[in-house]
Structure 1
C-alpha cells in the first residue's frame, strides 16, 4: 500500500489523505477487502474530528490526529481516507475507515469507542497545545504534571464530599467528619449490618466505639460527633445507604435513641488530624490501574490478532454452485440434441430444474453445517477476554489481578448489597492497591482466584482480598501477622485496621507498634526467615 496526500482540484479548501493505491480506486479497494468477510454488513466506520473556531491546525497536524484516533479504536493499519474541510466556521476532519483489516480480514467493532475517542482528543490537545474541550475525560494538574483522567474535580474515589468538607480538606489540610466516618467506622458498620439479628443497641454501640452517635434530624437520621456539641451533623446515609431512616425503621422498628452507656470510645474524630488518605497518591494509583487495564486490553487484542484467521467456506460454496450450473447446462444441451419431441423435451427440462434445485439446497445445507463446525472449532481454540485474563492472573500478573478484582466489585454493585464476610480476622486497608504476589516474598507459593483474591501458601494462611487481608486460623503466629502487616504496607502504603477477635486485634496492634514501617517489618522477617519456613531460598522479603 502507498500513503499520500492529494488535493481535490474542483473543491477548494478540501485536502485528502489515504493509504490506498489512489483516491479514485479507494472505494473499490475497500469493497474488495470487505468482501473477504461476508458477515460485515456495514464495513465503513465514519468519524468527524472538529476543532473550535479559534484553532487552525495544519494539514499534517490534522492527519496526525486522524491516525491517532484510528489507533485509539484499534483500527491502525486499516484502509482509510481522511478529508479536511476548511469551508465552514470550524476546521473538521472526516475519517472513513474500513472496519475489515486488509491483513487478517477480521472486522473491528470497537466497544465504548466514544470514550476511547474522547480520551484520544485530550491526548492530542496536550500534544499540540490546543485548548481543552469538555467531555468524559479532562486534563488535570497533579503536582505539576498534566494527566488525562475522568472529568472529576477531585481525584478521590470515595464519593462526592459536601462543599464545606471538601474545602476543609483542600485548604485546611484537615480531615472532615464526613471523611472520618467513611473510613474505618463505615467498614465496621458494613460488617454489623450483615448480621440478621442486629438491633438498635448494637448499632449505637458500634457507632459509640468510634466516637459517633446516631440521632434524629428533621425527617431523617444524622451522625453526630460525641466529642463536640457544636460539630456539624452529617447525613447518616452518607456513611452507608443502609443507615437511611426509612431502611433502618423498616428493618429494626421504631427508632430507639442511644442509652449512652458504652464507655470510652476506641477512636474518635479529630478535625486537626490531617486527612488519612494522600489524595495525589490515590490519584496516581487510580491512573496506574486504569493504564494497566488499558494495556491488558491491548495485549488481548494482540493475542487475537496473532491467531490464524477463521477459514471461510464461501469460496467452496461458490465453486460447487458454479459446477452445478455447468452440469445443468450440459444436461439441457443433451436433452435438446437427443429429444425431438417437444413435450418430452420440456418434461426433461422440468426434471433437470427440479434436481438442480434440490442439489442447490443440499449444497447450502452442507455449507451451513460446515461453517458452524469451523466456527465451533475456532471458538473452542480462542480464549475469551475473561479466560485470557484468568490465565494471565494465575502467573501473578498485576494488571490481570486488578482486572479480576474490578469485575468482582462490579458484580457486588449489581447485587446491590454488601459482600459476604470472608473471615473473622482481617486487616482492613485504608487505600488498597493491586500488588503482584511476587512483592510479598520470593518463592512463596500462591494461587489467584477468579475474583482476583490471592491465596498464599498454606504455611502462611493469608488471603489478599484487595480491600482486606484475611488471616486464617484462630491463633495465628506472630510471624504470620508480620507477613500480613508487610503485605498491607506494600499494598496500601498506609495503616491497616485490624478487625476480628479481641486477641487478634491486640496482637496486631502490639506488633504494629513495635515494627511500624515496611522497612522495619522487612528486616524483622529477614531475621525470622528460618522460623517462618515458607520459602526454600535465602532471599529476604
Structure 2
C-alpha cells in the first residue's frame, strides 16, 4: 500500500470543486468509480458537499497556502479490500494526518491495474476555520501505511524514503509516461566520465559531447539539454553538488563562449531524446509512428490556433470599425450633450462586450482544438491505439517491465478446441499495462492476454460470459485460480449454462460431472412428473399422456412405449416389482451387525451393496439425502474453511465428497449451515464434506471423532443395525 500527497504547483489553480468533479467522474466507464463517500458534511450529496466546503474555505481569508489536500492511496496489483475495509483505512489515514474532523470526499477507482482511492480534504476546519498543514506528512504516511498493512494483512511495501523529491518525480514520469527521463539518461550515459573528469574543461567537454551544459542556478548547478530541460546536478549524483565539485575541480569556470552550445554535437554526437524504457519488445518502428503522429498533431494544432487568432482579430477589428462609425454618427447627430454622452457610453459598452465575446469564443475554440489534438505521452498513445484495435500497441503495453499478469480469481486455458460462441462485450478501456477491460451487462471482465478476471460481485451471467470468452481465446480446457467460493461458482455456472468445457483441475472436473449428472437426473424426473396425471391414456395409436391440469404431452405412435427404463410388456418387470419375496431365495444376503459394530464394505459379499438394485432415476422422485446431493450450504462451508486456510490459519483442506473417495473414512464431525447437516469425513489430510438428511444426522451423532465410516460411491452411508442411506 502506498500513500502519496499530490501538491498543486500553482495555488491559484487549487479548486476543490474541480478535484471532486474529476475523482467522481466515471468517464462513461463501468470499471472506474467503485464508490464515493462524503465525510463530516451536512449532506452526502456531492453537489451540496462541494458548496459547503467551498463556503467554509471562503470564510478563511488569512490562509495564503493551498486550502485543499489531495491524497492518493494505492494498493498492490491484485489486492481488492472490501468497501468496509477501505472506509476504515481512509478514516485511519485522515486521523493520523490530523484531518479526522475535516470535511472530505473520497472516491475509489478501479480502472487501472492498481486499485486506488482519491481523497479530497478541506484543510480548513469546519468550526474553528483554521488551516491545518500536516508536518512531514510523507514520513507520517509511511508509518500509517505500515500499521495498516499489518492490521489488514496487506502486502508490505518499502516506506523508507531513500530518494529526494526530484528523483521521485523522475521515477513517476518514467512509470506513467513510459519514457526514459533526463536524470536516468545522464546517469546511464555520462556519469562515469563526469566522475573521471580532472578539470572544468574536461567536465564541460564530457557534457558537450552529450549535448548538455552545466549552468549555475540559485546556490547550485543544473544540467540542461539543448531543449532547455534541466535536472539538478546533485540529484544525478551527490558528489556533483556545487560544493563537492568546487572542492575537487576548483572554483567554478563557466563554459567559454568559443566552445559553447554550438559545438555540443562534437565527439560521439549522442544527445538526449525521450525513448521507451523497460520493454521486452523492439518498439523502434512503433515509437517512430508515435513521434510522427505527435509532430503532425502539433502542426495541425498550431495551424488551427493561428486561424482562430486571425478570426478573433477580424472580429475585433470589425467591432472597432462599427464602434467608430457609431461615434461618428453620434457626433453628427443633433442630440443634446447629455444624450450624446449616454450614447457614447452605450457605444463603448457595446464595443467592450463585442471584444469580450470574441475573446471568449476564441478561448473556447482553442480549448476544443487542444482537446482534438491533445499531446499524449507514449503510454497514453499506446492505450489509445490499443483501444482502437492496434495489436502492436497492445503487445507493446504488455511487454513493459512493469506489466504483470492478473492474479486472484482468474480464468485461463491450456488448449483444446476453440469454440466460437459469438460473445458480445463492449470495450470499457485499456490500462497502461495492457489489460483490456470489457463490459458485459453489469459485470466487468479484465483480459491480460493470458487470463480473464471478473469484477468482484459479478452475476452468474458475467461468469458465463467470461467462460465463453475463455473458450474462444484459450480452448475448451479451462483453468481456474482463486478462492474456493469462486471455483464453486464457476463450476455451477458451467453446469447451469450447459457450456461444453473441461476443467484442467481433476477435482473441479469431478464436481462438474457430478453436478451435471444430478442436473440430468432432476431434468428427467421433472419430465416424468409432467407425464403423470389423472385419466392418462396408456396405449393405443396416437394416445397422449395428460397431466393434472389437463395439458397433454405427445409420446409418439405407441404412447407409453417411449418411457425410459420400461421394457416391452411381459419381458421384464418394472423396477418397483423386482427383487420381491418370490425371488428371495435367489438373492444375496448379508447379516446385520449387532452392538456398536459398523457394516464395512469388506463385510459385504460381492455384488450386494456394490451392485444393488438397478437405478431408475427417471421414474422416481428425488429423495433428500440420497446420492451426491448438490448443496449450496456445503459449498458455502467449504469456501469459508478454505478462506481461513489461505490466510495461514491451521485448517486442513476441505472439499466436496466425490465418487473417488468411496471406502472407509474417518469420522471428523457434523456441522450445520443454514439448517443443512454436513458430514465431515477425513481422508489423509483432507476433509471431505457430504450433505446428509436429518435421520442420518441423528444416527451419526452417536459416533466419536476418529470412528471409521463406510461410504459408497453414491454417498450412501452404512451403519450398524440399519439400512444404508
- TM-score norm. by structure 2 comes to 0.22
- TM-score norm. by structure 1 comes to 0.28
